[in-house]
Chain A
């Protein structure tokens, strides 16, 4: 009898309950959503009173459990790969900073995970359980150019956060791709030399190495938010006009197969504002959008098929709340992990360029051959220093040892020292990272030609942060 009881206990009682089938995590915000001028972008997106809730089926009449109980505002939920925990950003008072919280669904335990100055936003999870987030939370419209730029951090449980990105651009939203890379939105700062360019999608590895452009914008005066990977391999993101304070925008997508050539509207037949698109485990899309289109203050939840071109009747339109975001409570495959080759005891990395003269930039009449590369670094926001020059070999290759964890730029120079091409500082290498590129402004998604670059046969040229001066501005 006792044994049978123990067996029963082992079979049921000792097992942690799984995620409620069909349940959703919703971000709900009140209809009054005026944010003051000093607000940050999360205050605008999740005004006071916003909450993260667990809603069981049937939606609307099922049980609603407030996960952000005790917080003044909350949003941006992410469900762990095992479907048992929810991560979201929240704040304890109107004046407090946004931080990342975790709620264990089984016991309703709320735990603050971050306490980083400037606040934290956009939680995402690595397969090893580490938390990735952006910090600090930018102010609305980037009104203060002296505010530190938002960058990505990684925090393993029980450890302090470590900075992952070292860009001269602001990084505000990210997601984890199935291949383990972190996909993020990079937005030029007001002080950026390259500020005429718009926001773009980039990827890094989970240790911050191998920063790579993923997809470029078509309009520089736009904001990109909430990149998400759908189950069919499309990347969806929300685009709004620069300066817009309303969260969300038009939902657009790129295909993983050709991200630079496939940008298109997700719902060509829907004209309303979309505040969130999340994949469901069956391939459907969970969409939060205006209902009806144009009703600025009313956001409803829709479920759309993966091939849908518009949104039909909402699944849930709550008269008391805007349904801003919806995430399915379900187990989902963990992305690939990666062993880092980074060595934190080092202070430099290496960059190999296979051909500095290879570029997709159209140049009338051809371009003189580069003989040197000037390495630039943005040592503080808006301050660019020349670190030194690296010889370019006759095949166009160069190899340089450069300081790690600082925004780096490059100028290719002809034999007279004139600047042929310029890449403003926005890339970086991590300590001991060996990085390569095919060319300067080379066409995207290119594989290299198979040849042995001459630069690997000559001693490496090192440039360092010391003895730096302002970058010369002579150009052709």
Chain B
């Protein structure tokens, strides 16, 4: 009996082995036929089949934390309001005792805050709710709400001759909602730059300035620029759009009392220069744009030091006297103190050429940077008490608000919102992701190129055996779990390799991130869900155009009945549910490149491996002349628009 069983097992094993051995020829041949790649050797069924997004890390529930986003102090200085976007809550704390008084639920990921002059109404932008909520500060109950643009992140209140106004930065729809307060209604929605992220208004309420995080879309080899958008809050019309050359990721802006200045922290980027080194700010450095609101002149000033960097400048606050500015460095865990009198003195004596060259002088900042205040992890937004005596710093990944005496720069204490989340590997990973200390001279963090895990919209010329021959578009990390291999050449098998030795050698120029932190880091990256869909109706149904586009995407033949070869069909390489077969293909752009997933693709411009296509349309109108990137030459304008409309729903 036993012998018989063994014999059966042996036969079954042999049969299975033979089947697998023969099967590999079948499935590899199958993949070769499907993909049109005759040399394909390393594939599995999982490249195309049995893929489920529900098993991916980003589809799983994750812990939520008391991470502070926007801050605002009441006009009497007694209370501070804190947006807790990860909790869908707004907290009210006592500034003297630094105790939380109340927390209320505000659905839709509350992010940016502003108060009216009397401190009666608290205005809250809801980043995922695409709305602005109004809270009565007495009851902390919602008294009003209005739809605004997509992903509003910042709001400013101002009094104008025409009445009270709110200016809202809509980060995903790239526009600015201008609202009247009473009645609460949208007066206009002028365009901004890309990803407007911070708003400040002049003291007379006549002008509002909006800082934008991403650069405008330009040809990949030309100098990129973000912009400061100036609007008139009364008319809701754009007044001026000032370019910030080679600068981006501005997350704060502040007017300077007693001076006609608007200050905007920025990242000065050098993406067009081959990354042969990182020393001397070769890749990026931190700066402060000083906009003269009278003349419109903009001077960019460095905030780093020759051999020490303070990465990821974010929030800014200026004291009521206009003598000092405070800039949070999210990657460096410091708040930089800028003496504006000394800065003005330097600008006064500098000629035009010296002003224009200032941002390139990495040893200039000691002329006007007088202190660096250490903080806990990831300082982002700042707020000052009305008398300027206390600086509040949102320590986002510590779940706390630091209170600093601005005279002595001594720490007064902390408002504790949560426990820091150190038991959560995702939170720990986010700490690694945003920490610049792993990089040579603390120059940048992962987040410096992937704000919120997404893209900065730039291409970088990475170091290889040659110089200047490896210009590559930055790819989003949102929804990247399960889409290995990584890198545009598809050679990195895992995030652990991509974020470990590869990142250390090519970018950090240090030892790799230690293994324990690396595991946390990759856990965090895998937890990043795909970017929000740009164009899908609330009920999830496709519009007629989107439905037609979907039919094109999955088409196996042209409208005339001509069969489209397997390897030229959209859905072969961009196979659902990830919309990537995780193989490399030659789409006629000068090589074989990894197939990116398409989840949230509408918000990841530019496109193709080197970022040469500025829009989804350009992929086919300009760069698919030989039908290698799908058979699209038969399409008319309407069909192409339909296809793009569908892609925006992914």
Contacts and interface: CB of A to CB of B under 8 A. Distances in A.
Contacts of B224: 450
Given A446-B280, A448-B360, A457-B468, A434 B306 contact: no
Contacts of A445: 280, 306, 361-363
A243 interface: no
B218 to A, nearest CB: 12
A325 to B, nearest CB: 26
Given A256-B308, A257-B308, A260-B363, A452 B273 contact: yes
Interface string A414-434: 000000000000000000101
Contacts of B272: 450-452
A432 B465 CA distance: 7
Contact of B363 (A258, A336, A339, A456): A258
B276 interface: yes
Contacts of B273: 354, 436, 448, 450-453
A241 interface: no
B136 interface: no
B277 to A, nearest CB: 6
Nearest to B511: A337
Interface in B354-389: 359-363, 365-366
Nearest to B284: A447
A447 B505 CA distance: 21
Contact of A180 (B302, B365, B510): B510
A355 to B, nearest CB: 11
The prevalent SS among residues of A at the interface is: loop
Contacts of B501: 339
Interface in A164-199: 177, 179-180
A446 B510 contact: no
B307 A259 contact: yes
Nearest to A434: B276
A444 interface: yes
B464 to A, nearest CB: 8
The prevalent SS among residues of B at the interface is: loop
B268 interface: yes
B61 interface: no
A177 B307 CA distance: 10
Contact of B361 (A255, A339, A443): A443
Interface string B474-513: 0000000000000000000000000001001100011110
B285 interface: yes
A210 B363 contact: no
Interface string B336-361: 00000000000000000000000111
Nearest to B271: A450
A91 interface: no
A177 B440 CA distance: 11
Nearest to A454: B468
B510 A338 contact: yes
Contacts of B572: none
Contacts of B365: 257
A357 to B, nearest CB: 15
A95 B512 CA distance: 45
B270 interface: yes
A382 to B, nearest CB: 31
A447 B285 contact: yes
Contacts of A447: 268, 270, 280-282, 285, 302, 359-362
The winner among A212, A337, A452 for most chain B CB atoms within 10 A is A452
Nearest to B509: A338
A341 B359 CA distance: 29
Interface string A431-474: 01011100000011111111111011100100000000000000
B463 A257 contact: no
Contacts of B305: 256-258
Given A258-B363, A341-B505, A447-B360, A435 B277 contact: yes
The winner among B221, B223, B307 for most chain A CB atoms within 10 A is B307
Nearest to A334: B511
B467 interface: yes
A179 B270 CA distance: 22
Q: Kindly state the interface size class of chain A when it binds its partner.
A: 35 or more
B279 interface: yes
Nearest to B285: A447
B271 A352 contact: no
Contacts of A452: 221, 272-273, 461, 468
A443 B504 CA distance: 29
A261 interface: yes
B469 interface: yes
A258 B306 contact: yes
B521 to A, nearest CB: 17
A261 B468 contact: no
B308 A233 contact: yes
B129 to A, nearest CB: 37
B440 A434 contact: no
A352 B505 contact: no
Interface string B257-282: 00000000000111111101101111
A399 interface: yes
A350 interface: yes
The winner among B274, B359, B512 for most chain A CB atoms within 10 A is B274
B590 interface: no
A263 to B, nearest CB: 13
Given A447-B282, A450-B270, A451-B273, A256 B467 contact: no
B440 A339 contact: no
Contacts of B361: 443, 445-447
A435 B276 CA distance: 6
A448 B282 contact: yes
A457 B461 CA distance: 13
A446 B504 CA distance: 24
Contacts of A350: 466-467
B441 A179 contact: yes
Interface in B389-406: none
A432 to B, nearest CB: 7
B246 interface: yes
A222 B274 CA distance: 38
B267 to A, nearest CB: 12
Contact of A257 (B245, B269, B306, B360): B306
The winner among A255, A260, A450, A452 for most chain B CB atoms within 10 A is A450
A456 B276 CA distance: 12
A208 B629 CA distance: 45
Nearest to A448: B273
Nearest to A128: B511
Interface in B508-535: 509-512
A395 B467 CA distance: 17
A358 to B, nearest CB: 11
A256 B362 CA distance: 11
A310 to B, nearest CB: 24
Interface in A338-354: 338-339, 341, 350, 352, 354
A450 B281 CA distance: 11
Contacts of A354: 273
Contacts of B277: 210, 435-436
Interface string B446-481: 000000000000000101011111000000000000
Interface in A198-222: 205, 210, 212
Interface of B: 221, 223-224, 245-246, 268-274, 276-277, 279-282, 285, 302, 305-308, 359-363, 365-366, 440-441, 461, 463, 465-469, 501, 504-505, 509-512
The 8 lowest CB-CB distance pairs between A and B, nearest first, are A456-B468, A447-B281, A337-B511, A258-B363, A257-B305, A450-B246, A445-B306, A452-B272
Given A338-B511, A350-B467, A446-B360, 16 more contacts: A210-B279, A255-B366, A257-B305, A258-B306, A258-B366, A336-B510, A339-B505, A436-B282, A446-B361, A447-B270, A448-B270, A448-B282, A451-B272, A453-B468, A456-B461, A457-B468
6 contacts: A127-B511, A257-B307, A261-B363, A339-B505, A432-B465, A447-B360
Interface of A: 127, 177, 179-180, 205, 210, 212, 233, 255-261, 336-339, 341, 350, 352, 354, 399, 432, 434-436, 443-453, 455-457, 460
